[in-house]
Structure 1
């Protein structure tokens, strides 16, 4: 067994090109109940429907394979078939023995079942788990059949632990436990020790009880991070599984994606799930400011949050861009943060609470909305972006007080903030704010100019950098890429703690409508499409003072369409307020813009801001024009 583990760990990074390209699906089930009438929750599937799924796979020439076949393919000893599926079943319910195992034998299909050690040991399952569980004897019998791989679902991590001062409990694998008596959180050393011990115990327990050392860790609730993956590998489980939609290559064995089968799909619905992997779903997004919800009275903050969450739920949307920083004066700079961190004041430890409630009650994905560079603090002047003004380099006069991405101390300051966000908060994505800009007069700090010359081979003198349109654009393009690479570094740090997050970044309309204006902003649609999961276009005609807003929006969509496939990765953000006169956008105008964008083929739509207290935009209009239809949810 030790030889197997070492060989598996070693060969994953050295897959042949052919092996690395092989793709396969992992399907995830939970309880397979006897009849449709027995379904109690959305993860239940009736045995009749489950057999329909198996028949569809068989009829459509899918190969249902075992963990061992995946291992062999990764080792290069045998290639995977072209259409390949792994079947997995979580939680170790008795129905796996009673309903699933007979069908596995009938079709000669292998499967993986993951069990929770503490539930198996003393039958002391949590009160919210109503289903009967497998016994040790049943597990041994199925394992001996050669059709069933027994995986760990942890020993005692399939539970929530205290995650914030407000009392939310979140997945024990990825959560830094909140310690009320100390008003602080579990530190890095204690967290790592807890997870490392838990992984080893989960493996040792199955050896003792079932007589097999698990090769696979199936993460409770699908939640994991790089630290947990490392601990599982050390404990002999180099293959782990989450619950992120999508298919896999053999290079993904450390954290496989799985399609969770929900809502008891019939054969047609199952076929749609397998063939589309839920990638078709459009985004409907509301921007929510925590500054609107925060109150010095804690109870009032909670009431405000409850009101906002109910409104988001009633919108029937699927995504919220949630402000993670405090900006009470509205200048776009972060004066404080809404999560524990090393560098800025904490306005209130509120982001994790709000994000979790939105996820659990409104059932939306939550993106943490943070600046890239605009952080207010008393830091050395050398850390900030400098512009050429009045014949010399000096601190930029732009409303965004930005830290220079060329200054290593400033970059580390920002990186620490993103690490702390990911460490203490549970969320699904990051929205990089529109403050990540550098004009054609920026950045001329000594560090930036030295980098410009030494790395890019451009002049280190502003007058030469600004001398011709060609030189200005060459400078701008490099700054565009440099800023994008910095956000990639920030995303990489976040993914150490939250590996499944998506990224989005705001872009002004100007560089899309007039690509030559990249030199004024260091923003480019082409560059952004290459770096982010989504590009969030500020489709705001009143902010841009467009004389004919409908025509302006049409031109914007047409400009985006010139890049093939771009509508799949771009989202258009409308404004709900005209900031020039601080007036609400009239709902007939807002609705007309939504309908125009949909008519033009725009897939993903959002708006900013959502004012929960003034019902702006009006909920009834959002439900009619903006919400997702039942068929898209």
Structure 2
């Protein structure tokens, strides 16, 4: 009997872990019409909280999550956590009265330098909470006050072209000497910020922060390791998908914005769109950027971004190395640099196209200490996934994965083809050559998530590519793309291929069971 009960307990815990749960993040809440994308109207916020109560959601605190995770206790059905970033006065003025109406606990993250009245952004002047106000809120048992860093809620130069990246992950580029911040100085900067925010908490609130909400959701494994030294145990991120106890102490969150109005709120808290999303992607090389002037590169990049918009893709696979694998498109000391353009291209596509960024990395890099090259690639660039290809000699895929995941803990790892020696993969990347009657048997036999890319040569007729997309869609292949996209010469023709690529596959979607 005891064994049976124990098994039932484990199954209930595993069930909660498998399903995951939503953790919402808000910023500013204001009455009346709002235009800022990160500001939610008070009217919509009230509707959203009423929805949670009406649908039976159980709002819990971070410490309840921590206790349940460490003791393997079952989380309540329909668990949800409410978090509010930036430490704004609107939390006390508008949010708190609504939460108190339902007795909902919440998490408030503050930027300690802003609470000190220093380095406050122009748009937040006179809008941030004072330490006196924060201390009063901290005494409320339904409010958990945590850190949002001391002064990392800002950005700095990340490449020679002038793009900015979040301070928490950027290796600052110095135009004067054309060099990037060293890893030692970067880590010292992060450590100093954690040390300072912890000290300010202790001085003003009488205790250090037990959790941190990373600005813009960006962090690395170094941050988690170092934060532990200052008593910071939980890390709120913006990693995609539901929160899950298996990721703890990392807690995924979903951003609630003005454009995501109350009508879309049920889809956000159930992750219906996330679970049902079908990837449409292209695969590109960066050779067309090499040897061009800055003005020519900007025009080409604008053309690429516009093309991505017209194609309707939501992901892209980029080659960071040349076709022969002997030069790179990013700054490094291991191999020649064809053009230092990768960070610029990735940044612009992320900001302007809002698409997922994947890098296609060969396992046959013929340079001494290729691990250093991969480390440089990972530490200088932001991306959400990688595709390894080639023979996995000496377990290079595992070695590279470990390096990449240190800098990008939530990165999705895929392998081109089906290789049983590469065990820890999030998806399989399957190439399919154009054929009138393609054999889809190997694809169907591959378990797990499958990204199927039509391996089209430069001279492949676009009608063939379109026909292949139709075949894959009609056979229920969920995630479809093609290679290589010749964006510099509009091949295949964007107006011809876009209508077919934009269509959904005949795939059974998950229902909204809320």
Q: TM-score range by the shorter chain?
A: 0.7 to 0.9
Aligned match of 1:432: 388
Aligned match of 2:443: 560
Instruction: Indicate conservation of the 8 Å contact 2:135/2:204, yes or no.
Output: no
1:363 matched to 2:354? The reply is yes
Instruction: Indicate conservation of the 8 Å contact 2:147/2:209, yes or no.
Output: yes
Find 1:351's aligned residue among 327, 342, 359: 342
Query: What is the CA distance between 1:484 and its match in structure 2?
Result: 9.8
What is the aligned-residue RMSD (CA, Å)? 2.7
Find 2:29's aligned residue among 17, 29, 32: 32
Find 1:550's aligned residue among 436, 442, 449: 436
Instruction: Indicate conservation of the 8 Å contact 2:212/2:232, yes or no.
Output: yes
Query: What is the CA distance between 1:427 and its match in structure 2?
Result: 1.6
Q: How does 1:241-280 map to 2 (within 5 A)?
A: 241-250=236-245, 252-266=247-261, 269-276=264-271, 278-280=274-276
CA offsets per residue over residues 209-228 of structure 1, 9 Å max, x none? 34442111110000000111
Match of 1:132, SS state, is coil
C-alpha separation in 2, matches of 1:137 and 1:314: 51
C-alpha separation in 1, matches of 2:400 and 2:503: 31
CA offsets per residue over residues 157-190 of structure 1, 9 Å max, x none? 1111111111111111111111222221111221
Unmatched tracts of structure 2, length 5 or more: 1-9, 510-514
Unmatched tracts of structure 1, length 5 or more: 1-15, 328-332, 378-409, 438-481, 508-522, 542-548
C-alpha separation in 1, matches of 2:479 and 2:232: 39
Instruction: Indicate conservation of the 8 Å contact 2:35/2:258, yes or no.
Output: no
C-alpha separation in 2, matches of 1:505 and 1:432: 5
1:318 matched to 2:314? The reply is yes
Q: Flag as ranges the 4+ runs of structure 1 deviating above 6 A.
A: 16-21
C-alpha separation in 2, matches of 1:421 and 1:229: 21
Indicate how the Cα distance of structure 1 residues 74 and 612 shifts in structure 2: closer, same or farther if over 3 A, else same.
closer
C-alpha separation in 1, matches of 2:246 and 2:425: 21
Larger Cα Rg: Structure 1 or Structure 2? 1
Aligned match of 2:6: none
C-alpha separation in 1, matches of 2:503 and 2:257: 19
Aligned match of 1:126: 121
Find 1:72's aligned residue among 45, 64, 67: 67
Aligned match of 1:418: 374
Instruction: Indicate conservation of the 8 Å contact 2:281/2:315, yes or no.
Output: yes
Query: What is the CA distance between 1:346 and its match in structure 2?
Result: 1.8
Query: What is the CA distance between 1:56 and its match in structure 2?
Result: 2.9
Q: How many residues align?
A: 492
C-alpha separation in 2, matches of 1:297 and 1:603: 40
CA offsets per residue over residues 453-481 of structure 1, 9 Å max, x none? xxxxxxxxxxxxxxxxxxxxxxxxxxxxx
Instruction: Indicate conservation of the 8 Å contact 1:158/1:221, yes or no.
Output: yes
Find 1:619's aligned residue among 494, 498, 501: 494
Instruction: Indicate conservation of the 8 Å contact 1:214/1:236, yes or no.
Output: yes
Match of 2:122, SS state, is coil
C-alpha separation in 2, matches of 1:575 and 1:263: 40
Match of 1:97, SS state, is helix
Q: How does 1:280-295 map to 2 (within 5 A)?
A: 280-295=276-291
Please, what TM-score do these two structures have when normalized by structure 1? 0.72
1:164 matched to 2:150? The reply is no
Aligned match of 1:538: 431
Instruction: Indicate conservation of the 8 Å contact 1:372/1:414, yes or no.
Output: no
Query: What is the CA distance between 1:420 and its match in structure 2?
Result: 1.3
Match of 1:370, SS state, is strand
Instruction: Indicate conservation of the 8 Å contact 1:34/1:47, yes or no.
Output: yes
C-alpha separation in 1, matches of 2:424 and 2:377: 21
Aligned match of 2:404: 494
CA offsets per residue over residues 371-394 of structure 1, 9 Å max, x none? 11143x5xxxxxxxxxxxxxxxxx
Indicate how the Cα distance of structure 1 residues 272 and 297 shifts in structure 2: closer, same or farther if over 3 A, else same.
closer
Find 1:503's aligned residue among 377, 399, 413: 413
